[in-house]
Structure 1
């Protein structure tokens, strides 16, 4: 990484230069070995003054409310902790909180307070003892410390207004802006804050997104599971740049392929925004492929359990892709030009990331089918049954 260059700030006073340097370093540097991030790309597009202004806004909100002296560098596993997470995106939440997998089996008394839209995603978690999305549910509960994912404005305001007297720790601190591998960052910061002592190389070998489901959720999807090896395909999407429209061509190539590695059973997954594509695929005529659809029928955690029992997951960058990456199933993941696969995947995702030169629609169907064949050749279509018996409710232990 290139050292900070104070000349770019335009300041000629040592004190101001040090202030800007501190703000930029805290906002753009990750102090952990093995966490990929694109600091220089961000610095080339953003002035030190702009970065400093955003940093000071957050720092002063904490300082003026007397929060700075309450900050802790580390928490211990005996403290009653409330983890605050205020970002809205499913994928971000899955990656940003993935590091809690390191706390599995430690019986840490930790609860989660998050947005109502994320409540259902973590309601069955086996690390969080309770998951709340209504402040009235938290009032009166006794905590020893707050754990903030990051110093963003919603989290700071929540801390200042409702937990002003409690000490706190923060995983990502003031880091804001540079693209990074959020999953690796989460593992490294949880390891640090809880003083777990894992080496960077060990964290890299186990880092992956994490979710958990209950036995009832597992049981509920069994009627949707084919009795032969199958491909789980996520259709639909909210962002046009990350919504793939060429699934009919992909399935046509799979149908016509003589490659015995190509799966001939497909289960469609997705929410209501994928219904139109699901109907189009269901109406398509195939010689060999068999298509069944769960689109609009399942929750995210139910979709996770279907994906976990597939031989392969296929989908474009989005919430369902990140959900699938919390399972042992290998995958083919499609990314747009602004989403580098090395910052969205880890080795334990067992995924081939295909990156386009524009939006995901510029990825050729033939390239997708080739990646499917490579993954099945590597992992085997019949491994789903073995994974199913070993999978039980959750991915393998991380520590």
Structure 2
């Protein structure tokens, strides 16, 4: 159902053109490789279009394919693409001003009803500077990232985040965990969770595996936060008990063959039965993950955790951290996944063993996980929640005299999710 006020939505964010290709005309092969990522945002955009509104995207790319601004168009989608300087030190020197100014220019050229900027950095600054009604969606905590990665680049990002919080007008988050970490009298933060692409919803749940049990992890980087060492140690225990009946594949940047992750596994005698699969394009990754039996997510902290919902949608029972940021909330506090202390490899091992040996539990979790995602996290459903929030912000801006100019206005809203 088309909203009353929001007719043309602007999205300022990293995106991936290939995920939006069906909405664009006359794409060349090189266009499909453009973008900086943003899986959840791509899914929200598809959901907004499915809800019948027009969407404009203001984004950036750092490949050599883009040397000047590019505009791609379709019946309901327009994508403005600028250049993202490939060297971090160049972006740092002017506090990402070059990138933010491009976003601002695209918005002023396009004239949307509202701009939803994702992440609280250069895309958000461009949206704020445009003076159009805007919503800033927080997807991480800059202070936590700086704590884990103490370097000048993250310090600059931290100050960008502070500037956005100081000058922005309307904000939301994708999890209760982020809401609790960031909410203050200055920031009212309604929660709208990340969506799952309906195409990934399995038509039927999985039967308990009778042959080799295939375990999978999808992790973004080899780091203490992602905690792959404990996953590997837990699988080593599992392998000692079940032998060739269990296997473990890890996907993601930092987990290719000859990577630091594989070297660590070899040095710590944790490589038996493990394959390091590296990075895949998201559609290809999901096509691979659907053939596994169990999803293991050992991360110590997540601001959301898309992989969790995607695993549930595909029918995979999930083992994840009981204190890992947003993870317990995403998994319905243990109703839709086994939550354990992921800093203890023995606890991970015991949870995996439970799924391997308990067919009733396994099949119940598989069936209930698909239903849980279908009822709460589809792209069209989450997009409808955003549309309701956009309308409230636009109505507020109209009552204040058309366009807001960087004044802090709180828009109360509670997501039905």
Taking structure 2 as the reference length, what is the TM-score of the superposition?
0.46
Task: Identify the structure with the greater strand proportion.
Answer: 2
